[in-house]
Structure 1
Amino acid sequence: MPLAIVQSRAVAGIQGAEVVVECDLGPGLPTFAVVGLAETAVKEARDRVRSAIQNSGLDFPARRIVVNLAPADLPKEGGRFDLPIALGILAASGQIPMTALTATECIGELALDGGLRPVPGALSAALAASSAGRELLLPRANADEAVLAEGAVIRAAATLAQAVAHLRGQPHLPAWEATHGPATEPETLAEALPDLADVRGQEMVKRALVVAALGGHHLLLSGPPGTGKSMLAMRLPGLLPPLQRDEAMEVAALHSLHGSFESRHWRRRPFRSPHHSASAAALVGGGSRPKPGEISLAHGGVLFLDELPEFPRAVLEALREPLETGEIHISRANRHTCYPARFQLVAAMNPCPCGHLGNPREACRCTPAQIQQYRGRLSGPLLDRIDIQVEVPALPIEALQQKESGPDSAYWRERIGAARERQMLRQGCLNGQLQGKALDRQVTLAPADRSFLERAAQSLAFSARAYHRVLRVARSIADLEARDSIHREDLAEAIQYRRLALSLGH
């Protein structure tokens, strides 16, 4: 009995799991069955494949067709197996040479007219195919992201007919990376980002933003409405150096899986700003078929949570583990998925429900009980994980009319990039990620400075986590000033960045 085997890839986290598509044409009444733990969208491939083959001018065999997607215990979803199923049927019926499929993997959804539509996870599939030493045949709309996989040979087709002609050798599709691909120069992307020089005044807050960018520290901004909290947060990506290639590949794979990858954003750090009505599954990922959430889509970049106390408490508490570990584990009855989530959190909040506590231009109307209830929405363990917490005061009108606005983002980006390179050479990670013995090695204090820090920690009732976070921030402040050792003024400034947590009652 004619049997054809086509290699394909399923999505398993951010990895491309190998799937063998076996197409068998046997005697009997014409039927078409798809087996191998296929969900409804995969089983519907029967109708799409039949129409696509016929409308492409090819013969659909009137045979008993059985398609097996192996391994049988790996869930299969979406329309990504349409193209390998169609090619398998055509190979089994003698319309494509079997040998043409041995060194090729295929993914792609078919339209009824034979056109090829893009599918999520193309970059992961390209990386896996390259590791296996095979070419990847996919829809043309997926080619720009797939070509990012170093060493991968990408063949992009717009229709099923083009894919069949390529496998028949008449003509061959050229390797996509020969003439196409996304821009690889990130400097032009950075120039399009909001500039820190646009912010008038708020010098202390801008310095805190620079320190946070330099060390990869989480940041909380608190102040009345209209003081520039969101404006400052949106300027953090412009302070960060472009992603390195390995980081950019991981970020691109996550966005490819989500279906939101754009080649023009290659090596740009993501900036995600979900609304405060977002659910826990939307923020951390999940669903019956686990998908990456906002924290994973912000991996390598910035997650901005505006109106922080308005988020449901259960949603905010779900952030605690990813803030520490840099990854999120999603477990379901039959699936376990781990997504990277090494993001930089920037949160903004009002000091009270009406927002005007401490505002010299408008009196606060909230009672102490209302203020306490509002601030109580943020738990102590969550605030403890935010390294830098600063107040953004209301500025007088004269300050807004000043022409001098300080250095621009390009100036700081160069300094921050150089400081980050020193951190990576010195310790292999950013200061915000220092743990245990590595932190002890990189933070050496004079006896008098250590005594100063211990007195401050006792007086301000620091937890062990807060104590170590002060040390990390002090290390970043010293790096900003290009100092090898930490001075007392660095410690004092880092302690000042914890004062907001004390005013919030934690």
Structure 2
Amino acid sequence: MLFKTRSAAVYGIDAHLIDVEVDFSTVVRDAETFSTVGLPDAAVKESRDRVRSAIRNSGFDMPPVRITINLAPADIRKEGSGFDLPIALGILGAYGALQPIDLTEFLFLGELGLDGTVRAVQGILPVAVAARQKGVKRLVVPTVNAREAAVVDGLMVYPVRSLIEVRELINGIATGQESIAPVQLDKSTLLDEIQDAMPDFSDVRGQHTAKRALEVAAAGGHNVLMIGPPGSGKTMLAKRFPSVLAPLMFEEALETTKIHSVAGVLNAETGLVTHRPFRSPHHTVSDAGLIGGGAVPRPGEVSLAHNGVLFLDELPEFPRNVLEVMRQPLEDGTVTISRASMSLSFPARFMLIAAMNPCPCGYFNDKSRECMCTPPMIQRYVSKVSGPLLDRIDIHIEVPAVQYRELRSGAAAEGSKEIRSRVLEARRRQHERFALAPEGAKRGRKIFANAQMSTQQIRLHCELASDAERLLERAMQQQGLSARAHDRILKVARTIADLSGETQIGVPHIAEAIQYRTLDRQYWS
């Protein structure tokens, strides 16, 4: 007898629906034989032992027949333990333990314990999205994963704890009496809790220049490098940076959640990433850990930071090869990982916030501590960060040690709420500008922030007043700035003008942008 159920397999951050076909054939003498075909991996092959024990310990019989499981299409590799539940249901259905019902509108996913309990699996959200696209109406998943799946509209998501519950659910639906109610999730309130619980910029004493630079970065989507001695507050500033960013839109949250779901780091209680991610890997991270990789490619830190912030503390301490692999995601917003059997792409559109000491000892130009480093030592230390990587960082800002008087000041510092309001207004101006830009200037690429402008768009949108033009020319000649620094200065100046509500870039905007090119001024000489 043949019985069919449906499940799904996840590749990258997308899922493909899989037909699970169960066939009973010749009766064998002592016990059933169990074989799985359709390109299963080791975890899928091992499911026969889990399924056999789960069925028996749930009070059902395993008939002494030859059981063949086919996972179709057979040319797609099947991975993970999520096929346990549909395989078990296929066996129950094949020997009549289920009421006659069309299961084509169902999709099942879950790992089985030996006692028949249904355990959580990774990648539920991509499966839910694929199910909706293919017209599947009912999704049966472990209780732990139910909120995550319920984020997707148009699906009835049933949370189950055991194989017995699934059988009762199917039989109840067949007779018109559902034993389990679908999960209801109020998505309108999920994103309302975002910013208020984050660390606030009002905690930061002093560092007005650094806070202003981070405000400019947030307004224009610029990458930032902070340079300062130990204890000056670089990490503290970076951790508060997400609090001034625009809240996640629902589609952004959905895309980010898919990545976290596949990586297995999603909070099951919320079911959705409700705030912009902040990832801070240690400098001992490998290139595979940062970019992603493995025999079966998984997302790395740059993808987990998608639509959020990637913070790299002690930037020169990262291995050179690890830093160099970031050039593609910083440029393209995606990461492509190629293996012999497959090639997968993961989104990686993030803002980079990096921090470093000015020299090996950390106290170059510090007024309270003497630096013991020689100029060649300082230059070698700074040169650990390659030119091509610095080329993708718009703002370099010095973060000096906080003076005692500022540290003990009772004056209230400006909070994240006030800064965020200016950032959102500047972003609104950019959205209007790029929405009205000629299609020819876009070159088919949709952009949302000044940092994403191409050379042609810089010429189109970065109009300089005559005195600002002379100031930029003088700075280029006197400080020996490169062509790439020229474009970075114009992008940052455009953002500063947006924060001021100005259409044309003036002298104050250019002057401030020039001050954010610390490394171009060769400060260590």
The TM-score normalised by the length of structure 2 is 0.92
**Which residue among 165, 172, 195 is the counterpart of 1:162?**
165
Kept in 1: contact 2:51–2:87 (CA 8 A):
yes
Structure 2 counterpart of 1:369? 376
Matching residue within 265, 271, 284 for 1:260: 265
Read off the aligned partner of 1:343 and give its amino acid letter: F
SS across alignment from 2:337: strand
Superposition deviation, residue 8 in structure 1: 1.2
- Hey, what's the Cα distance between the residues in 1 that align with 2:106 and 2:523? 59
Whole-angstrom distance in 2 between the partners of 1:366 and 1:79? 56
- The share of aligned pairs that are identical, in percent, is 48
Quote the Cα distance in structure 1 between the aligned partners of 2:297 and 2:524: 37
Aligned residues between the structures: 504
**Structure 1 position 175, deviation (Å):** 4.8
Q: Is contact 1:157-1:173 (8 Å) kept?
A: no
Paired AA for residue 203 in structure 1: H
Answer yes or no: is 1:231 the counterpart of 2:231.
Answer: no
Distance 1:320 1:156 in 2: 42
Q: SS where residue 69 of structure 1 aligns?
A: strand
Work out whether 1:490 is the aligned partner of 2:497: no
CA distance in 2, matches of 1:83, 1:455: 70
- Alpha-carbon distance, 1:486 to partner: 1.6
Q: Is the alpha carbon distance of 1:113 and 1:358 closer, same or farther for their aligned partners in structure 2, counting shifts above 3 Å?
A: same
Deviation at 1:182, TM superposition (A): 6.6
Q: How much has 1:448 moved relative to structure 2? A: 4.3
Separation of aligned partners in 2, 1:8 and 1:362: 63
Q: Deviations over 1:161-219 (max 9, x none)?
A: 111111111652545343x4678253433111111011111101100011111111111
Matched, 1:222 2:227: yes
Check whether the contact 2:194–2:247 (CA below 8 A) recurs between aligned residues: no
Equivalent-residue separation in structure 1 for 2:60 and 2:219 (angstroms): 59
State the SS of the aligned residue for 1:236: helix
1:59 equivalenced with 2:78 (yes/no): no
Deviation at residue 41 of structure 1 after TM alignment? 0.9
In 2, distance between residues paired with 1:344 and 1:136?
Answer: 35
Gap regions ≥5 residues in structure 2: 436-447
* Structure 1 residue 152: Cα displacement: 2.3
Cα distance, 1:373 vs structure 2: 2.1
Equivalent in the alignment of 1:382: 389
Flag the 1:129–1:96 CA change in 2: closer, same or farther, 3 A: same
Task: State whether residues 203 and 413 of structure 2, in contact with CA within 8 Å, keep that contact through their aligned partners in structure 1.
Answer: no
Task: Specify which of 213, 218, 222 is matched with residue 218 of structure 2.
Answer: 213
1:397 aligns with one of 401, 404, 414: 404
Structure 1 CA distance for aligned equivalents of residues 521 and 38 of structure 2: 57
For 2:189, the equivalent position in structure 1 comes to 184
Q: Please list the CA deviations of residues 35-66 of structure 1 after superposition, one character each: whole Å capped at 9, or x if unmatched.
A: 12211111100011111111111222221111
Of 28, 43, 52 in structure 2, the residue corresponding to residue 50 of structure 1 is 52
Q: Tell me how far 1:328 sits from its aligned partner.
A: 0.4
In structure 1, what residue type is equivalent to 2:369?
A: E
CA distance 1:101–1:361, change in 2 (3 Å): same
Q: Are 1:314 and 2:321 counterparts?
A: yes
8 A contact 1:327–1:338 mirrored in 2: yes
Q: Secondary structure at the match of 1:189?
A: coil
Tell me the residue number matched to 1:137: 140
Shift of 1:292: 0.2
Q: Determine whether 1:172 maps to 2:178.
A: yes
Alignment CA distance shift 1:44-1:199 (3 Å): same
What stretches of structure 1 of length at least 5 have no aligned partner?
none
Corresponding position of 1:15: 14
Q: Which residue of 2 aligns with 1:94?
A: 96
- Do the aligned residues in 1 keep the contact of 2:467 with 2:506 (CA within 8 Å)? no
2:380 partner letter: Q
The whole-number CA distance in structure 2 between the counterparts of 1:208 and 1:6 is 56
Cα RMSD, aligned residues only: 1.9
CA distance in 2, matches of 1:131, 1:64: 35
CA distance in 2, matches of 1:112, 1:211: 56
Amino acid at match of 1:114: G
Deviation digits for residues 105-138 of structure 1, max 9, x if unmatched? Answer: 1111111111111111101101111111212111
Structure 2 partner of 1:423? 430
Of 367-376 and 113-122, more deviation after overlay is shown by 367-376
Q: Which amino acid aligns with 1:266?
A: V
**Partners of 2:74 and 2:452 in 1: CA distance:** 41
Which residue, out of 146, 149, 156, partners 1:153?
Answer: 156
Moved more, 220-229 or 163-172: 163-172
Give the C-alpha shift of residue 455 in structure 1: 4.1
Taking the aligned partners of 1:92 and 1:318, their CA distance within structure 2 comes to: 51
Check the 8 A contact 2:465/2:504 in 1, yes or no: no
Preserved contact between residue 183 and residue 266 of structure 1 (Cα < 8 Å): no
Moved more, 356-365 or 430-439: 430-439
- My pick for the range that moved more, 293-302 or 466-475, is 466-475
Change (3 A) 1:173 1:286: farther
Number of the residue aligned with 2:248: 243
Q: Taking structure 1 as reference, are residues 499 and 85 closer, same or farther at Cα in structure 2, changes over 3 Å only?
A: same
User: Compared with structure 1, are the counterparts of its residues 183 and 174 closer, same or farther at alpha carbon in structure 2 (3 Å cutoff)?
Assistant: farther
Contact 2:375 2:524 in 1 (8 A): no
Q: Counterparts of 1:175 and 1:13 in 2: how far apart (Å)?
A: 31
1:207-266 CA-to-partner distances (Å, cap 9, x unmatched) read 001111111111110100000000000010111121001100000111111111125463
Q: Show the counterpart of 1:114.
A: 116
More displaced stretch, 364-373 vs 293-302: 364-373
Query: Residues 89 and 505 from structure 1, CA distance in 2 versus in 1: closer, same or farther, beyond 3 angstroms?
Result: farther
Take 2:115 and 2:388, find their aligned partners in 1: how far apart are those partners? Answer: 56
Q: In structure 1, which of residues 313, 325, 336 is the aligned counterpart of residue 332 of structure 2?
A: 325
Equivalent-residue separation in structure 2 for 1:91 and 1:436 (angstroms): 62
> One-letter code of the match for 2:499?
L
Contact kept, 8 Å, 1:313 with 1:377, in 2: the verdict is yes
Letter in structure 2 aligned against 1:22: E
The amino acid of 1:499's aligned partner reads T
- TM-score of the pair, normalised by structure 1: 0.95
Whole-angstrom distance in 2 between the partners of 1:355 and 1:165:
66
